[in-house]
Amino acid sequence: MYKSDFVRQLQTPSGGTQLRRSVQIDYSLTAILLTLCVIGLLVIYSATGQSVFYVRRQLTFILAGFFIMILFAQFPQRFWERWTSVIYLIGVISLIGVLHLGIEINGAQRWLDLKFTRLQPSELMKICVPLMVSAYIAKRAIPPSLKHVSAAVILISVPAILVLQQPDLGTALLISATGFFVLFLAGIRRRYLIGAVALALAALPSLWFFVMLDYQKQRVLTLLNPQHDKLGAGWNIIQSTTAIGSGGWAGKGWTQGTQSQLNFLPESHTDFIIAVLAEEFGLIGVLTLCMLYTLLIGRCLYIGLNSSTMFGRLMAGSIAYTFFIFVFVNLCMVSGLLPVVGAPLPLISYGGTAIVTLFAGFGIIMSIGNESKKVGA
């Protein structure tokens, strides 16, 4: 008799049968995710001047994301392989819709107004791109040939170029990275990798003169010398590094930070939220956060390594590396080691689409892990 992936038939004492739905989740992964979300809520409360409004909204986003994660975890892995093309196509169409129907906020047109909420399709593509590239490469010979690498590059480039038009260079680069991680994990030949790096370096002058806008160039120049314009372009970095340095070992205490509470720190509840955490909880708080991130990434890699399929290994591994890049970019940006870009701190920063997308990605990883358990059983 055929048994579905999450419906079991159990014998009753009377000899009949009854259906029982078995919800399958990874408890270790779930515990780490919820711990990070709780930390995020505490810091958001402080960063917004003890605003319950932002905490409630973020909690709503977390609950919605958690529900989606549990739902996605119940689907069999073959479901994601089968419907990847449709999911990717919907994401690309959404990006095109942003260019024509999107709403503009702070000079950038990145959101679709759905009346009940705003949707940022570029965040969705951070999961759709590795999903699509993983499904494509998994069906081909490993390591991928030049033909298949070229096809994968096209799949990566289409959404990246659309995001670049919004304009959002930082997110476009992150989306590209998510796809190239899949190629890296697939064992792309060294000559292709060296060629790609050489091509990227050769393209830097063209990127500077013909692609980057004036404000993007200013961010790079500010990185090199933030003191040049202390009250203008350099304000964000100066205030964030001041907040981080003033926290010391143990911090000033929850809601006791001066940079955030006195509104010196810009975007303190989104992109620069790690500066609030560092000021109020100190180096100990930052190291604790990094430890939780390390456990989360390690768990994802463990699930990927134990997957019985190439798709599972590529997808889980690429999401793990992608998550690391998100954390790395935000920490370096706030510390003044990278230019300021719109890169929130995963699971900590305030934001709806970003956190729901992350939960969806972890739901797919749980789906891969559930498949591995069935094979090993």
Give me the phi and psi of 222, to 5 degrees please. Answer: -65, -35
Q: Is 3 helix (H, G, I), strand (E, B) or coil?
A: coil
pLDDT computed for residue 129 by the predictor:
94
Helix, strand, coil % over all residues of the chain, rounded to 5: 70, 5, 25
pLDDT computed for residue 115 by the predictor:
74
**Cα→Cα distances 130→98, 133, 363, Å:** 21, 5, 14
Q: What residue ranges do the domains of the chain occupy?
A: 23-214+224-376
pLDDT computed for residue 377 by the predictor:
53
pLDDT computed for residue 375 by the predictor:
61
pLDDT computed for residue 341 by the predictor:
80
Which residues are CB-neighbours of 23 under 8 A, at least 6 positions away? 6, 70, 74
pLDDT computed for residue 292 by the predictor:
97
Counts of helices then strands in the chain (DSSP H, E): 13, 5
Which residues are CB-neighbours of 346 under 8 A, at least 6 positions away? 293, 323, 326, 327, 330, 354, 358
- Residue 306, classified by CB atoms within 10 Å of its CB into exposed (0-12), middle (13-18) or buried (19+), is middle
* pLDDT, block means (10 residues), the chain with 377 residues: 40 42 84 96 93 94 96 92 93 91 77 80 91 93 89 94 87 91 89 86 85 82 80 83 90 88 84 93 95 96 92 93 93 89 89 91 93 65
